Amino acid sequence: MTRVDEFDHFFSSSADVTLKATYAVCGDRNVAFESTVDAYCRAWRDWTKIRNHNPEGWVRTEAWRLTALSRSTHPLRQRHEEDSDRELLTALAKLRSDDRRLIALLTLGSVDLEDACREVGVPAQQGAESVTTALGGLESSLGDSLDQLEERMHGLSRVTRQLVLPAAGVVRHRAQSGRRRNTVLMVLAAILLTVAGGLASVSDPKSGERHRIGDKDGDILLLAQKLGPRDLLGSAEVARLDRDETWRVLGTDDSLRENTPFATCPSRRLADPRAIRFLVRTFQAGKTDERVAQAVEVSTSPGAAESGFDQMERWFADCRVPGVQLGDTWKVPHSFHNLSILQLVSHQKPVQTFTVGVGISGNAVTTLVHRSEGEEGPDVTSFARVLSEAVSGVCRFLYSDVRCLGEVRVRPNIPPAAATNREFLTIADLPIVADPTAAWTGVASNWTKHRDAAVCDNADFSGQRPKSRSYVQANSSTANQPATFGLTETIGRFTSESAAEKFVDKVRDNVNGCPDKNLAAQVDEDEDYDQDSFDGTSWRVRLDLHDGSQARYRTSIIRHGTAVAQLTFTPVGSYDISREKFEKLVARAGQRLTYAD
């Protein structure tokens, strides 16, 4: 086994336990995470010295030593965390440091008492007496038995499981980067001392115009050229998305000249046409059609990368491929980078689900796309962790900053805004109607035509700066598509929230009371919406015609702040959608309406 293989095995088999024990000792998840990662970096630097001398104990001791150097571990500076066992952590914090370490080793580290005492540096007899006293104190203060205490100690893993540790290769690279940086700094310090001694009285008026060695932007542009396949995900990381299959790398490409999109929805390969570095790697699960693609592009500045991130996100959020519909969207809050996750379903045969993650750190944008058969994608938390690892790996290579890593907490999010008509539904929001190969198209329309055609709602947006869009399907392979089939959305902006509320209430009363005024009208399937970002109501309206036939349509009125939207779907024959699909469409329209602010 090579030196690298030894360390990688050591890291993968011990890191999770080290993190959990370190968290129990210091009580702060972020400090525990940073200290654990730094400890393994130092272990790699000294691997030849410690590899045969209890490296697990060495790295735990190093991690605990590093926690002692952090100001955040002081009880008065620790953040309140809702999902942590704060009562247990507070009780542990009141114990002596050696006692906390002994308890963590005995309960979490699977270390016997004699070895634990040796690791902490106390005589076995003294350690036995001390830990017995400490455990007795915990039983008394917490009101738990020893078995319950041990169970609560192991329960701390609920927090540490959310923290995604980097791959062993990333740790080794960071260790080497740190060593090179320290060497450069020491050489520079020696040069500066020499120069300062001989030229202290000399000033250079052009010195402010020079780039310093280690200038951040310069370093990033140089490092970007060295970003390579080893800094991308491997088969082991991608396998977390589907552990039932054996994953393999299909290929890795770094051509900036190739313009073929690497996934469905983007119109070209690069979101930033001026990117200075690009890599894409593809994976396959066994012999199935399940695929994963990871793409990384590095821009010349964080601002350019931000524009690239927005473009990549929009390509998927406003996908124009026929039959592709945008589903749920999420975000992963992080202090150092931004992660966005979207799920899309292609309803063309065979039906496929695309789970897409886009992340940005500084100058780099990372995109992860998973494709699977059917309408179900991977577990979103598992996907978020793989995405986080992909983004963090690139971030750590470019910035060597522990802040690149962090816990993964997935939160529902409204869909990203489209490039134009942000407050309106996008093509990817629209449902599949009769023909999954037919492409929707949206155009501006005259809102008064929709008002005049209405029977029950009498929604008059006059004076409220109304805008309207009509959506119809084009290029349908189904013959004889009726001309009356389609979807319309009208949005008005009122002078105040109270005026908008009164308008919505009036429309609601008009529709609900329509059967009393028009005996040919029937109103049913009403649904009220009371979300954090919008409220409103939807209905189905049916009208008995003179020839004995029946016309029907679905309509809704929704409000966000001072903006009000009316959504109306007119079906004809088989060109219809279910109540459930319309209500989902109304909910999406409510989310989009938040961009009217």
Which tens digits make up the pLDDT trace of 415-446?
999 888 999 999 999 998 878 888 888 888 88
Q: Is residue 417 part of a domain?
A: no
Token pair of 477 as six digits: 């392979």
pLDDT tier for residue 402 given thresholds of 50, 70 and 90: low
Same domain, 16 and 154: yes
CATH number of the domain that 388 lies in?
Answer: 3.40.1000.70
CATH number of the domain that 95 lies in?
Answer: 1.20.140
Same domain, 306 and 435: no
Token pair of 27 as six digits: 């009580």
DSSP-derived secondary structure for 14-40: HHHHHHHHHHHHH--HHHHHHHHHHHH
Domain count, the chain: 3
In tens, the pLDDT along 209-257 reads 222 222 345 567 777 888 888 889 999 899 999 989 999 999 999 998 8
Q: Is residue 171 part of a domain?
A: no
Between helices 86-93 and 124-142, what is the axis angle to 10°? Answer: 140
Specify the DSSP element, H or E, that contains 444: strand 439-445
Q: Is the dihedral of CA 233, 388, 417, 580 positive or negative?
A: positive
Percentage of the residues of the chain whose pLDDT score is greater than 90 = 44
> Which residues partner with 542 through β-bridges?
522, 552
Q: Is residue 376 part of a domain?
A: yes
Percentage of the residues of the chain whose pLDDT score is greater than 70 = 86
DSSP state of 427: G
Same domain, 446 and 592: yes
DSSP-derived secondary structure for 100-113: HHHHHHHHTS---H
Same domain, 76 and 142: yes
Would the pTM count as exceeding 0.85? Answer: no
Same domain, 400 and 437: no
Same domain, 398 and 518: no
pLDDT tier for residue 403 given thresholds of 50, 70 and 90: low
**pLDDT reported for residue 100:** 87
Token pair of 172 as six digits: 């080794």
Between helices 55-68 and 3-26, what is the axis angle to 10°? Answer: 40
Given a cut of 90, whether residue 505 has pLDDT beyond it is: yes
Same domain, 132 and 269: no
Give CA–CA dist 4/167, Å, rounded: 13
Given a cut of 90, whether residue 191 has pLDDT beyond it is: no
Given a cut of 60, whether residue 459 has pLDDT beyond it is: yes
pLDDT tier for residue 265 given thresholds of 50, 70 and 90: very high
Q: Is residue 582 part of a domain?
A: yes
Same domain, 392 and 495: no
Q: Is residue 457 part of a domain?
A: yes
- Residue count of the chain, please give it: 597
Among 104-113, 151-160, 203-212, the range scoring the smallest mean pLDDT is 203-212
CATH number of the domain that 561 lies in?
Answer: 3.40.1000
Same domain, 253 and 353: yes
SS3 content of the chain, % helix, strand, coil (to 5): 45, 20, 35
Given a cut of 60, whether residue 196 has pLDDT beyond it is: no
Note down the domain range covering 128: 3-160
Contacts 24+ apart (CB under 8 A), 154-159: 154/107, 154/108, 155/85, 156/20, 156/23, 156/24, 156/84, 156/85, 156/88, 156/89, 156/108, 157/20, 158/83, 159/23, 159/29, 159/81, 159/83, 159/84
Strands 338-346 and 535-544: unpaired
Q: Choose the final residue of a domain: 363, 389, 412.
A: 412
114 against 312, higher pLDDT: 312
Same domain, 234 and 330: yes
Q: Choose the final residue of a domain: 412, 435, 469.
A: 412
Given a contact cutoff of 8 angstroms between Cβ atoms, the answer to whether 455 and 541 are in contact is yes
Same domain, 240 and 334: yes
pLDDT tier for residue 335 given thresholds of 50, 70 and 90: low
Given a contact cutoff of 8 angstroms between Cβ atoms, the answer to whether 597 and 414 are in contact is no
Q: Reading across the β-sheet that carries 291-298, which strands appear in turn?
A: 247-253, 277-285, 291-298, 364-373, 352-361, 338-346, 324-332, 411-412
Given a cut of 80, whether residue 110 has pLDDT beyond it is: no
Q: Is residue 531 part of a domain?
A: yes
Same domain, 398 and 525: no
Specify the DSSP element, H or E, that contains 541: strand 535-544
Q: Is residue 195 part of a domain?
A: no
